[in-house]
Amino acid sequence: MMAPGDAATTFGPGDHASTYGGNPLACAAGLAVAQYIYDKNVLDNVKARGEQLTQGLEKLAEKYPTVLGQVRGWGLLKGIECIADDIAPGDLVAAAMNEGLLLVPAGANVVRFVPPLIISEEEINMALERFEAAVKSKAN
């Protein structure tokens, strides 16, 4: 690092370095992703699909009030509480995997949804159907 005076002693060796920092390929890839997000209105899809996912999960929480609780999260990163004493989030995640849906347990009582930013309306519907099948299999 080149800097004059006191600025030259601010960082020690390895304090401000990265193997890939400033790499032309990494920069080009980052710019291409940012351009795609902008050109394809990906954030509009995130907002719409996030609202769809929230509404669907809230309906499931109403349908299975002894198993599912509060829905929370931003955009497409959503979590739903697993409130049943005899069903852990990991149990629902395993049941969802058996239905072909990949989810993640989060904390002691939350099942987390982390779909891709480009997920479609149909795919959200399919995910909700599969999650309901998973919940139903554990609720009985």
The pTM score is 0.80
Q: Is the pLDDT reported for residue 34 higher than 80?
A: yes
On whether the CB atoms of residues 32 and 104 are closer than 8 A, the answer is no
Rounded alpha-carbon distances, angstroms, from residue 34 to 18, 37, 42, 63, 120: 21, 5, 10, 39, 20
pLDDT at residue number 123: 98
Short-list 67, 138, 88, 81, CA closest to 113: 81
pLDDT at residue number 6: 78
User: DSSP class of residue 20?
Assistant: S
Q: What pLDDT, in 10s, does the model give residues 70-129?
A: 999 999 999 999 999 999 999 999 999 999 999 999 999 999 999 999 999 999 999 999
Dist CA 131 CA 125 (whole Å)? 10
pLDDT at residue number 124: 98
Q: Is the pLDDT reported for residue 8 higher than 80?
A: no
Q: What pLDDT, in 10s, does the model give residues 46-62?
A: 999 999 999 999 999 99
Q: Is the pLDDT reported for residue 1 higher than 60?
A: no
pLDDT at residue number 13: 67
| DSSP per-residue codes, 34-47 | HHHHHHTTHHHHHH
